[in-house]
């Protein structure tokens, strides 16, 4: 028993035998309240956007390098895979932005009541998805 | 005895100095949270500007990008956006690793990698933008 957290799980049952105490239910056991979903979405999209900066870096470096390099990434972004990646990137950015604005509101002391919490959770998803669709309609019209 | 029962008493196992510093087990204060919050405030308008800029760059040629970033305002906004984005990203990714990765070697490796990768990517972006714009 090297880990102190493991040691805390050891107890005696009614027979006096040493047993490992059960853990509380883990993530997959709980019902998914909307607030939990938004919180997890915020983290997942945050990490996703971190990976997405590779794409931004590639785009900017290509634009600084040569016509051929830039034409290649513009071609890649027009392929089905490129479009899929860009769409996920836009959606992640908008969801993270909306959820982030809600975080700022919390930091200012607003929106902690359970009802407001649930309502703003739905608003984060609705605005994030609607704005993504809107941006893509505008983008495709320009294209 | 009656005197001590009336005067306020702090019943915690912390030294007065520790309480005055108010830093707790993390050994550092709210500086990281504050930096994260400040960068997110800056990123709200910058991200909206960035999205508008990127939508206009759909199917653009390299000359279009050069023309866009050669103007002073887009150039400055793009540089600020990159600084804030990579700063915010570093803090965010570090928080995720600190929360979920407990194995010391993996934790330190990932924390150092995040610092290195964000610095390298951020500098690559900034140098590229400066080369395009200047």
pLDDT confidence of residue A39: 94
DSSP character for A22?
A: P
* Distance of residue B50 Cα from the nearest chain A Cα, in angstroms: 11
8 Å CB contact of B128 and A60: yes
Range of A70's domain? Answer: 32-142
Cβ–Cβ contact B51 with A under 8 A: yes
Chain A contacts of B92, Cβ < 8 Å? Answer: 46-47, 50
Classify residue A136: in a domain, yes or no: yes
Over residues A91-98, mean pLDDT: 97
pLDDT confidence of residue A122: 96
Tens digit of each residue's pLDDT (9 = 90 or more) over B38-67: 999 999 999 999 999 999 988 889 999 999
Cβ–Cβ contact B32 with A under 8 A: no
Residue A137 has pLDDT above 90, yes or no: yes
pLDDT confidence of residue B6: 66
Residue B70 neighbours by CB under 8 Å, 6+ apart? B132, B133
Question: Using CB atoms, which residue from A46, A135, A138 is nearest to B92?
Answer: A46
What is the spatial distance between Cα A50 and Cα A43, in angstroms, rounded to a whole number?
Answer: 11
pLDDT confidence of residue B23: 73
Tens digit of each residue's pLDDT (9 = 90 or more) over B70-115: 999 999 999 999 999 999 999 999 999 999 998 999 999 999 999 9
pLDDT confidence of residue B1: 45
Over residues A83-102, mean pLDDT: 96
Q: What integer best gives the mean pLDDT of chain A?
A: 91
What percentage of chain A has pLDDT greater than the value 90? Answer: 69
Burial class of residue B94, CB neighbours in 10 A (0-12, 13-18, 19+): middle
Classify residue A14: in a domain, yes or no: no
What is the spatial distance between Cα B86 and Cα A58, in angstroms, rounded to a whole number?
Answer: 15
Please report which confidence band the pLDDT of residue A132 belongs to, taking 50, 70 and 90 as the band edges: very high
Residue A29 has pLDDT above 60, yes or no: yes
Classify residue B11: in a domain, yes or no: no
Classify residue B1: in a domain, yes or no: no
What is the spatial distance between Cα A50 and Cα A54, in angstroms, rounded to a whole number?
Answer: 8
pLDDT confidence of residue B37: 95
The CATH number of whichever domain residue B98 belongs to comes to 1.20.1300.10
SS3 A143: coil
Question: Using CB atoms, which residue from B44, B86, B125 is nearest to A97?
Answer: B44
Classify residue B18: in a domain, yes or no: no
What is the spatial distance between Cα A135 and Cα A10, in angstroms, rounded to a whole number?
Answer: 55
* Distance of residue A141 Cα from the nearest chain B Cα, in angstroms: 10
The CATH number of whichever domain residue A54 belongs to comes to 1.20.1300.10
Classify residue B7: in a domain, yes or no: no
pLDDT confidence of residue A12: 86
Please report which confidence band the pLDDT of residue A21 belongs to, taking 50, 70 and 90 as the band edges: confident
Range of B34's domain? Answer: 27-133
Q: What's the number of domains chain A is made of? A: 1
Q: What's the number of domains chain B is made of? A: 1
Chain A contacts of B43, Cβ < 8 Å? Answer: 97, 100
Classify residue B101: in a domain, yes or no: yes
pLDDT confidence of residue B11: 67
8 Å CB contact of B124 and A60: yes
8 Å CB contact of A104 and B56: no
What is the spatial distance between Cα B10 and Cα A119, in angstroms, rounded to a whole number?
Answer: 40
């Amino acid at each position: 028993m090297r880990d102190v957290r493991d040691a805390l799980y050891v107890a005696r049952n009614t027979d006096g035998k040493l047993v490992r105490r059960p853990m509380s239910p883990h993530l997959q056991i709980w019902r998914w309240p909307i607030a939990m979903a938004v919180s997890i979405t915020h983290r997942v999209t945050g990490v996703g956007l971190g990976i997405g900066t590779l794409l931004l870096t590639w785009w900017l470096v290509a634009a600084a390098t040569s016509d051929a390099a830039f034409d290649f990434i513009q071609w890649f972004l027009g392929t089905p895979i490129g479009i899929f990646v860009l769409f996920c990137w836009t959606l992640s950015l908008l969801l993270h932005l909306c959820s982030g604005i809600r975080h700022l509101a919390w930091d200012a002391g607003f929106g902690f009541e359970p009802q407001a919490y649930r309502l703003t959770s739905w608003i984060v998803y609705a605005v994030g998805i609607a704005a993504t669709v809107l941006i893509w309609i505008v983008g495709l019209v320009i294209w | 005895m009656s005197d001590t029962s009336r005067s306020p008493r702090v019943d915690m196992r912390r030294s007065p100095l520790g309480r005055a510093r108010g830093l707790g087990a993390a050994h550092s204060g709210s500086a990281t949270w504050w930096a994260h919050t400040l960068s997110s405030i800056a990123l709200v308008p910058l991200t909206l500007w960035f999205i508008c800029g990127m939508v206009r760059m759909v199917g653009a040629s390299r000359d279009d990008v050069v023309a866009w970033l050669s103007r002073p305002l887009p150039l400055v906004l793009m540089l600020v956006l990159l600084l804030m984005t990579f700063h915010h990203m570093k803090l965010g990714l570090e928080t995720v690793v600190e929360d979920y990765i407990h194995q010391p070697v993996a934790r330190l490796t990932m924390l150092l990698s995040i610092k290195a990768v964000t610095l390298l990517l951020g500098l690559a972006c900034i140098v590229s933008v400066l080369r395009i714009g200047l």
